[in-house]
């Protein structure tokens, strides 16, 4: 008998036995500054005490129950999230992952409009389930056929959006593609084109929400209001949760029996998400994200870093010619700093816990300045 994992990940050789805040603890006692943050997941940092206590209390009080029952934990989450939302009236559905949140958003748009076309963008990543994979760049293998008609447009283009389009889905900042920001005026133009054609605008904020850009949602950062926002990753600071948030006018056009999930919105996920939302609302928290962001942006010009792109704590370090992100990642790791890579071999990605400080940026700067891979 044997059991092996399917070959999903190229694992990084790091003997991690624990984590505290923004640091990983290694078996040999060393500490690694984690600027990858579980890929935008560890909003409050690893092992946050208040979050742990809230989970433990909830486990003792009501560990799980069916979604056929109302729970205090769900009500508390909705109350904590509502003040963070972009203006307007919203409806929410809870699932367990980013891909599911996007499946539900697409399903809502297709059902509400009665149309069959979806427009997405080259370089997009929306997940690995059938509908989410269909609108993801083919660099991530999907299914043999898409569950609806897909038009893939160049980033920044309005091509393909017409009266047959149910939805246009995009990441406000394309993360895996290389922390690629929207060209000036693009999101506004998309909003106008969707209004003109009756298509729904879907923001995949799986990474960009939950305070990541220094405000609760990218929709607020860019000042453009989509019909539907999805998020996951950092929404419950490490507890699995997917959220599909639809403006009421969009939500009311969909049939009532469209959604369902056994685990989605369960009590433990709800308390983790409530604690996360409360902390984002605390005075100074998002200011701290913006201050840390400004400090990390000062990496521009240090060592092999030519420029810094992105916003908040979703940043891409653009490398000088002759240096690859993988080389830089490995060399930084040798100095006790973990960063991310992406599809673009010239971009190192930072997506740390939102509790990082300017002092952590100094640590990265020091490590970058020391790099032997500097061109
Ligand atoms: C922008 C974006 N959308 C969707 C997903 C899918 O999320 P999950 O892995 O939770 O299904 C991801 C995951 O990396 C993502 O980055």
Reply yes or no on domain 49-281 having CATH 3.40.640.10.
Answer: yes
Q: Contact, 92 vs 78, CB < 8 A?
A: yes
Calculate the alpha carbon distances from 195 to 152, 189, 191 in Å. 20, 10, 6
Tokens of 62: 């009501």
Q: What is the pLDDT of residues 332-359, one digit of tens each?
A: 999 999 999 999 999 999 999 999 999 9
- For CATH 3.40.640.10, list the domain ranges present in the chain: 49-281
Residue 369 pLDDT greater than 70, yes or no = yes
Ligand 1 within 6 A of 40 CB? no
pLDDT at 60: 98
Ligand 1 within 6 A of 98 CB? yes
Question: How many CB atoms within 10 Å of residue 90?
Answer: 18
Specify the pTM: 0.98
Going by C-alpha positions, the residue among 121, 185, 178, 108 that lies closest to residue 152 is 121
Residue 374 pLDDT greater than 70, yes or no = no
How many residues are present in the chain?
A: 375
Cα 175 to averaged position of ligand 1 atoms, centre (Å): 10
Residue 375 pLDDT greater than 90, yes or no = no
Ligand 1 within 6 A of 175 CB? yes
pLDDT at 372: 76
pLDDT at 345: 98
Mean local confidence (pLDDT), 147-176: 98
pLDDT at 256: 87
- For CATH 3.90.1150.10, list the domain ranges present in the chain: 16-34+284-370
Distance CA 201, CA 228 (A): 7
Burial of 206: CB neighbours in 10 Å, binned 0-12, 13-18, 19+? buried
Ligand 1 within 6 A of 332 CB? no
Cα 299 to averaged position of ligand 1 atoms, centre (Å): 27
Distance CA 234, CA 77 (A): 14
Cα 60 to averaged position of ligand 1 atoms, centre (Å): 31
Going by C-alpha positions, the residue among 234, 232, 220 that lies closest to residue 313 is 234
Mean local confidence (pLDDT), 80-95: 98
Mutate to test the pocket of ligand 1, among 125, 228, 230 (most ligand atoms within 8 A of CB): 125
Angle of helix 325-334 versus helix 358-370 axis, rounded to 10: 110
Fold (CATH) for 16-34+284-370: 3.90.1150
Task: List the end-to-end C-alpha distance of the chain, in Å, as a whole number.
Answer: 50
Mean local confidence (pLDDT), 109-120: 98
Ligand 1 within 6 A of 121 CB? no
Calculate the alpha carbon distances from 312 to 95, 171, 213 in Å. 26, 15, 4
pLDDT at 262: 98
Ligand 1 within 6 A of 46 CB? no
Tokens of 6: 């399917």
Q: Which residues contact 163 (CB under 8 A, 6 or more apart)?
A: 197, 198
For residue 124, the ligand 1 atom closest to its alpha carbon is 1
pLDDT band at 169, cuts 50/70/90?
very high
User: What percent of the chain is modeled with pLDDT above 70?
Assistant: 99
Q: Which residues contact 122 (CB under 8 A, 6 or more apart)?
A: 137, 152, 153, 154, 155
Going by C-alpha positions, the residue among 346, 336, 345 that lies closest to residue 368 is 336
């Amino acid at each position: 008998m044997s059991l092996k994992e399917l070959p999903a990940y190229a694992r990084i050789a790091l003997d991690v036995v624990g984590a505290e805040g923004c640091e990983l603890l290694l078996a040999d006692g060393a500490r690694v500054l984690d600027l990858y943050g579980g890929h935008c997941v560890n909003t409050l940092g690893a092992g946050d005490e208040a979050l742990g206590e809230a989970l433990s209390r909830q486990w003792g009080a009501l560990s799980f129950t069916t979604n056929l029952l109302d729970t205090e934990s769900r009500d508390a989450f909705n109350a904590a999230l509502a003040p963070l939302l972009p203006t307007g009236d919203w409806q929410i559905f809870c699932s367990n992952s980013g891909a599911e949140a996007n499946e539900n958003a697409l399903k809502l748009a297709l059902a509400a409009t009665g149309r069959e076309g979806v427009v997405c963008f080259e370089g997009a990543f929306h997940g690995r389930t059938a509908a989410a994979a269909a609108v993801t760049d083919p660099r991530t293998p999907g299914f043999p056929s898409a569950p609806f008609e897909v038009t893939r447009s160049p980033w920044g283009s309005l091509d393909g959006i017409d009266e047959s389009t149910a939805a246009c889905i995009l990441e406000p900042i394309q993360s895996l593609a290389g922390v690629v920001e929207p060209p000036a005026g693009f999101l506004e133009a998309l909003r106008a084109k969707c209004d003109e054609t009756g298509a729904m605008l879907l923001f995949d904020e799986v990474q960009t929400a939950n305070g990541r850009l220094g405000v609760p949602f990218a929709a607020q950062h860019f000042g453009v209001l989509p019909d539907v926002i999805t998020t996951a990753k950092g929404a419950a600071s490490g507890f699995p949760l997917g959220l599909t948030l639809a403006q009421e006018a969009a939500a009311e056009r969909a049939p009532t029996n469209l959604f369902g999930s056994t685990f989605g919105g369960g009590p433990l996920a709800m308390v983790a998400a409530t604690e996360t939302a409360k902390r984002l609302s605390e005075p100074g928290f998002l200011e701290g994200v913006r201050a840390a962001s400004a400090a990390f942006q000062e990496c521009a010009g240090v060592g092999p870093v030519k420029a810094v792109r992105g916003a908040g704590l979703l940043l891409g370090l653009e490398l000088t010619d002759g240096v690859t992100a993988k080389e830089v990642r490995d060399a930084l790791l040798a100095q006790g700093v973990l960063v991310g890579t992406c599809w673009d071999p010239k971009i190192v990605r930072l997506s740390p816990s939102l509790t990082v400080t300017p002092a952590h940026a100094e640590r990265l700067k020091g490590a970058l300045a020391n790099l032997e891979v500097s061109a």
